[in-house]
Structure 1
Amino acid sequence: MKKTGWTLIIAMLALAAYLILWPVPVEPISWQAPAAPGYTGPHAANDRLSGIRLIDLGDETGPEHVALARDGKLYAAMASGNIVRMNPDGTAQEVFVNTGGRVLGFDFDAADNLIAADAMKGLLSIGPDRAVRVLINTVNGDPVRYANAVTAAANGKIYFTDASTRFAPKDWGGTFAASILDIMEQSPTGRVLEYDPSRKTTRIVARGLSFANGIALSQDEQTLFVNETGRYRVWKIAVTANDLDVTQGSPQAAVLLDNLPGYPDNLMRGLDGRLWLGFAKPRNPVIDAMSDKPLLRKVTLRLPRALWPVPKAYGHVIAFNEDGTVTADLQDPIGAYPETTAVTETPERLYIQSLHAKGLGWLAR
């Protein structure tokens, strides 16, 4: 019995030492998560997203970003690295291009080049001839580690987010794993960048964001809307800002939507001045409770991944005006369509984007 007792004690000490001392890649920052609002007010619980229909994508998964181009075709970025082109009803699917990485967002410029934020490659330009060019993958000698979302302005300038300067998806097991590490660490290293094709220059518009994600321009193209996933909010940032640290306060940056009920992912311009936002996951009370406990977050990352407090599936997308008024809220509490990242709105349909879905979701308008 004594031998068994000592064996148990040694095993428990070894486990405790592992949970406390084993190295992990994050250095968590203490912060105070606001009390979650729950599903109330403009986000009152509903099932308006539960009737979603699917376009079969064959072997493809993860239509993370979807856009309707001037050629009348839908383009969708897949987990395989393919950008698939199809008719709006899902027929005539073909691989337009494979970037060899993972495109998380794209837009079309005035010359119909597809401008892609590739999490593995940087900012890309893909011509109508399907030729792929790297526009930028460094800023002032610093790598663009996590190109995430992009929007092209009428004047030719391109704005995109670099979600994290700490965790590159190509080094940390992909985009989802890298995002978890960055959000668990909470070091606000995300930034907004501007690329000027006419001068071939890149500058930092703003920094200090906890996982900079979706981005969209205002109708007058003087303001950028930017999702800060790790802090559950949406910013308004002036396009004229230069190397602005949003954590320091400035009249050029303000929070438009705060303390949201989930992790905001992509942003898309819709019809009639609307912007659409998708929540990849809902808030998790365990994660919020650990916000001011950095050591506990380190311990959590030493657990098997199956025990990490990854939030449950919950479908949720919203539309809002540029003044922050929420005009639509669609939810699926069951989460049958996983990780609803945003909405592409056309006169006939709402296409629902997703990180990992095996089809492209849509609703009739």
Structure 2
Amino acid sequence: MLNYSVVENWVHTGGRPIGIAIDDFGDVFVADAFKGLLNVSVGGELEFLTDEAEGMKFGLINGIVVAKNGMVYFTKNRLHQWFHDFLEGRPHGRLLSYDPSTKQTNMIFRDHYFANGVELSSNQDFVIFCETFMRKCSRYYLQGEKKGSIDVFVDNLPGVPNNIRYDGDGHYWLDNSFSLKFIQIYPFIRKILAFTIKYLHKMPDFMNYGRGIALDLEGKPIGGYYDNTWIYTTSGVKIGKHLNMGSITRSYILRLNLIQNPLATATS
């Protein structure tokens, strides 16, 4: 069998690159947890763009996406206390934008509950971002009568959303792993979890399967895939006829053939 793929060390950021997005010219925008927002040219030249807004350092940049007009949208949370921030369940998250033409960084919206993955709508009239702790995704309108306002894109999810991706074929794919409903209701459980992680250095198993949910253009769940060997899903990206899923606890990518595996009916 011929192997046409080659893996190489391309660019060393000096930090911890968490997310990437590519613009129409082939430049790569990098969300680096330590360095901030970076750009890597087609030739591999690394450029620092920004690491603060309104005089405040970013901390942890989670999601990132680039619009056709070049505008970069990304989310942030606190860095070194990210999991405790998650368990605390308070609105420290932010949605920001960076304009490469003016080199200006703007705070679009603040006070989100662990702002995470981010994606543009199919016609780029709004940007979607996940609020992990609240088990929902919100949208910020970039154009039209609702420009500048925010509403709910999808909520009451069965698990926590991490990343969301549009597949170019009328669907958004949302990874949706372990459930946090009982944690939201009972704060004392969050304290127990924090103690367990800090002193016992162990992450309890919240759920024994992974999940990818398909949404239509209006955010309605229309189906999904489940795998009881795949836990803590962090991404679901459709490439061709395959759904590729990543996980915090796995060193490989789960690849699901969408033709051989019919879309299961969505459940709320």
The TM-score by the shorter chain falls in which range? Answer: 0.7 to 0.9
Of structures 1 and 2, the one scoring higher in RCO (CA 8 A, sep 6+) is: 1
For 1:66, the equivalent position in structure 2 comes to none
| Aligned ranges 1:286-365 → 2 under 5 Å | 286-291=182-187, 293=188, 297-298=190-191, 300-303=193-196, 304-306=199-201, 309=204, 311-332=206-227, 334=228, 336-365=229-258
Give the 4+ runs in structure 1 shifted more than 6 A: none
Q: Is the 8 A contact 1:237 1:252 kept in 2?
A: yes
How far 1:110 moved relative to its partner?
A: 2.2
One-letter amino acid matched to 1:301: A
| Aligned ranges 1:95-134 → 2 under 5 Å | 95-134=9-48
Matched, 1:194 2:92: no
Matched, 1:138 2:52: yes
| Aligned ranges 1:246-325 → 2 under 5 Å | 252-279=149-176, 281-284=177-180, 286-291=182-187, 293=188, 297-298=190-191, 300-303=193-196, 304-306=199-201, 309=204, 311-325=206-220
In the aligned structure 1, how far is the partner of 2:201 from the partner of 2:8? 36
One-letter amino acid matched to 2:179: R
Q: How many residues align?
A: 253
Q: Is the 8 A contact 1:271 1:346 kept in 2?
A: no
In the aligned structure 2, how far is the partner of 1:191 from the partner of 1:236? 13
In the aligned structure 2, how far is the partner of 1:96 from the partner of 1:337? 29
One-letter amino acid matched to 1:352: M
Give CA-to-partner distance per residue, 1:133-185, whole Å, 9 cap, x none.
Answer: 221111121001011111101111111111x2xx31xx34xxxxx2x211211
Instruction: Specify whether residues 350 and 158 from structure 1 end up closer, same or farther in structure 2 by C-alpha distance, changes over 3 A only.
Output: same
> Which structure has greater helix proportion?
1
In the aligned structure 2, how far is the partner of 1:349 from the partner of 1:321? 18
Q: Is the 8 A contact 1:188 1:210 kept in 2?
A: yes
Q: Secondary structure of the equivalent of 2:25?
A: coil
How far 1:125 moved relative to its partner?
A: 0.7
Q: Is the 8 A contact 1:212 1:229 kept in 2?
A: yes
Q: Secondary structure of the equivalent of 2:101?
A: coil
In the aligned structure 2, how far is the partner of 1:317 from the partner of 1:278? 5
**C-alpha RMSD over aligned residues:** 2.5
Match of residue 139, structure 2, among 202, 215, 236: 236
TM-score in terms of structure 1 length: 0.64
Q: Secondary structure of the equivalent of 1:149?
A: strand
In the aligned structure 2, how far is the partner of 1:194 from the partner of 1:238? 13
Instruction: Specify whether residues 128 and 338 from structure 1 end up closer, same or farther in structure 2 by C-alpha distance, changes over 3 A only.
Output: farther
**Larger Rg over CA atoms:** 1
Give unmatched runs, 5+ long, in structure 2.
259-268
Q: Is the 8 A contact 2:207 2:231 kept in 1?
A: no
TM-score in terms of structure 2 length: 0.85
One-letter amino acid matched to 2:195: R
How far 1:210 moved relative to its partner?
A: 0.6
How far 1:100 moved relative to its partner?
A: 3.0
Give CA-to-partner distance per residue, 1:321-353, whole Å, 9 cap, x none.
Answer: 121222331011x2x234222222122322212
Q: Which of 265-274 and 305-314 deviates more?
A: 305-314
One-letter amino acid matched to 2:232: E
One-letter amino acid matched to 1:234: C
Q: Secondary structure of the equivalent of 1:98?
A: coil
How far 1:98 moved relative to its partner?
A: 3.1
Q: Is the 8 A contact 1:320 1:327 kept in 2?
A: yes
Instruction: Specify whether residues 358 and 90 from structure 1 end up closer, same or farther in structure 2 by C-alpha distance, changes over 3 A only.
Output: farther
The percentage of aligned residue pairs carrying the same residue is 28
How far 1:264 moved relative to its partner?
A: 0.2
In the aligned structure 2, how far is the partner of 1:363 from the partner of 1:187? 35
One-letter amino acid matched to 2:245: I
Instruction: Specify whether residues 286 and 309 from structure 1 end up closer, same or farther in structure 2 by C-alpha distance, changes over 3 A only.
Output: farther
